[in-house]
Structure 1
Amino acid sequence: MVTSRRPSLPRRHRRTGSAAAGRLFVDSSGWIALVSARDQHHAEAHERFEAAAAQRRRLITTNLVLAETHRLLLFRAGPQAARRVLDRLEASTLLTIEFATAAHHRAALAWLDRLPDQRISYTDAVSFAVMEATACPTAIGFDGDFVVAGFSLWRPAG
């Protein structure tokens, strides 16, 4: 179920310092936890997104992550709620949506080959490829696959 209280999404702020240092990739597990009050990680996700907004962090996700998020919300919360979440994410001026390219596809296949004994989804492999291409080593999410691939899951200091 989608929360009745609209979770805060970052608004546009002037960038300071290194762009890569301020970027956070957002996995579908992060988006789902943020908008679903019944998700076991909801409070933690809300805290992380609030901290990211306070620190003016730029967010990156992929169209495949959005597709995965939409599909999960479609069956958990219904078509209107799933669509509203897509609209809200698209309206966030600090969120960059990277669309999977042929280069991302090839890199994702390489990630799957690199981790043959892991149950890494194609969506996650494309996420790894995008994170690598954009020099973004850190994700907001609750999926251990990012750590297995050598990335870190972001936890705000304090």
Structure 2
Amino acid sequence: MTDSLPTEPQAAIAFVDSSAIIALVDRHDPTHEQALAAYHELVDEGYCLFTTNYVIAETLQLLDLSFGPDIARKWLQDHRLPVYHADEQDERRATARLSSARPDSRLSMTDAISSVVMDRLGVSDAFAVDPEFLSDDT
């Protein structure tokens, strides 16, 4: 990870999905206000937020496609989220999760990695505005 997660067991930790990041960046997103309120609530409640290198890559790509490379690069330079770097074990587990997903599942590799990392770290809270994020993904 770029920054470390707190080690004390009482620390509240939440995973941040790209859907929440995009909603925060895009003032015209229909979930922008909801995402902003949720972000402030998480911060006010003392949550430590983090994401994965896969989410960083996905967010960068989505920002580039929607707003252009300048906005995407600025976000990449300015974001302050601690980043957990998925390892080979995470990737193997995510691949297995994808392979066993329902045929109609829209589970992406990024979401599978997110789910695996949350499981590995014992994190049950996530900041996401995508209703499909981690919903019955198998």
Aligned structure 1 segments of 4 or more residues deviating by more than 6 angstroms:
none
Structure 2 distance, partners of 1:134, 1:15, is 11
1:52 maps to what in 2? Answer: 42
**Structure 1 CA distance for aligned equivalents of residues 15 and 137 of structure 2:** 14
- TM-score scaled to structure 1, two decimals? 0.75
Structure 1 gap ranges (5+):
1-13, 151-158
Partners of 2:110 and 2:128 lie apart in 1 by 14
Whole-Å Cα distance in 1 between the matches of residues 7 and 32 of structure 2? Answer: 28
Quote the offset at 1:38 in angstroms. 1.1
Q: Distance in 2 between matches of 1:131 and 1:17?
A: 15
Of 19, 24, 32 in structure 2, the residue corresponding to residue 29 of structure 1 is 19
Structure 1 residue 110 displacement after superposition: 2.2
Taking the aligned partners of 2:127 and 2:101, their CA distance within structure 1 comes to 21
Distance (Å, rounded) in 2 between the aligned partners of 1:65 and 1:73: 12
C-alpha separation between the residues in 1 aligned to 2:19 and 2:42? 16
Maintained 8 Å contact 1:111/1:128 = no
- Structure with more contact order per residue of length (Cα contacts < 8 Å, sep ≥ 6): 2
| Percent identical | 34
The alignment of Structure 1 onto Structure 2 pairs a total of residues equal to 131
Secondary structure of the structure 2 residue equivalent to 1:59: strand
